Structure 1
Amino acid sequence: MPYTLRRKVMFKDCDPARIVFYPRYFEMLNDTVECFFDEVLGCPFERLHQDHAVPTARIDTVFTAPSRLGDWLDITLTCIRLGRSSLDLAFAVRCGDEPRLRAASTLVHVGPDGRPVPWTGELRKALEYQIKGTD
């Protein structure tokens, strides 16, 4: 089941040409992940990151059109695959009907020592539900 975060392109996101400076998109994608964990999975990062983390292990991105200061972006996250300790995500960023960016990433659930640990309990159940909702 896709999750969408709507966000306005702010001055801080832009380069001197008033288009989104490409690293800012990665911050936007991470913000979307953080909101998804909080709002959909019921696992806010301030709780998750007390003894675990979900660093990005891989991200592939295709930029299809520039976004400009003042644009409203819909950043849609879809869970694609759940592994023992990994989670594959797909992102689509649009401004109205125009695609701006596509990305695919892998998060890894790690413990306090930074080593991968299995998804367990309610968090795993919530992620499984998200995966089943996309079939």
Structure 2
Amino acid sequence: MAFRADLKVCFSDIDHAGIVYYPRFLHYFHVALEELFSSELGIDYPTVLNKYRVGFPTVHLETDFRHPLRYGDLIQVEVSVLDIGQTSVTWGYTTYKRGEPEIVVVSGHNVTVCLNMDTFRKTELPEWLRQRLTDYQKKYA
């Protein structure tokens, strides 16, 4: 099973209808991605940004919403590496309510481009990161 981040739906995540406001799922995806870096890739995301000066802005995003979540729900966001390009990474996300691993609540994917944080220009994925992502991808293929 691919890496799953355990998260909790907070009061600030819900809308007037009492369910998670849809943009919050994008936040959950990113939080899970940051957790993947430290848990599976062996490097903290802030280190990637601040020390190695590599960022990953999203350039494309697709999301499917299947079931609502409410305040206090415990969730798991699974992160997969779908594709590793020369300058981009496509990430996959599947969200489950904890204790109900067979029911997909939200799924999606986004494409990020490798960015030099000093010049804000697209750059090739560093080889050290490419190898870690490839190893993770193979581990959960």
TM-score greater than 0.5 by the shorter chain: yes
Match of 2:120 in 1: 114
Unmatched tracts of structure 2, length 5 or more = none
Tell me the C-alpha RMSD between the 2 structures: 1.4
Deviation readout 1:80-129 (Å, 9 max, x if unpaired): 11111111111111111322111011111111212221122322210110
Alignment of 1:21 onto 2:21? yes
Task: Give structure 1 stretches of 5+ with no counterpart.
Answer: none
Amino acid at match of 1:7: L
2:136 is matched with: 130
Q: Normalising to structure 2: TM-score of the pair?
A: 0.88
Match of 2:43 in 1: 43
1:1-135 paired onto structure 2 within 5 Å: 2-50=2-50, 51-95=53-97, 96=100, 97-111=102-116, 112-135=118-141
TM-score by length of 1: 0.92
Q: Give the count of matched residue pairs.
A: 135
* Identity over aligned pairs, percent: 24
Q: Is the contact made by 2:57 and 2:112 (CA closer than 8 Å) also made in structure 1?
A: yes
Aligned-pair CA distance for 1:5: 0.5
User: What SS does structure 1 have at the residue aligned with 2:25?
Assistant: helix
Q: Could you say what secondary structure the match of 2:115 adopts?
A: coil
SS of 1:66's equivalent in the other structure is: coil
Q: Is the 8 Å Cα contact of residues 40 and 136 (structure 2) preserved in structure 1?
A: no
**Alignment-mate amino acid for residue 113 of structure 1:** T
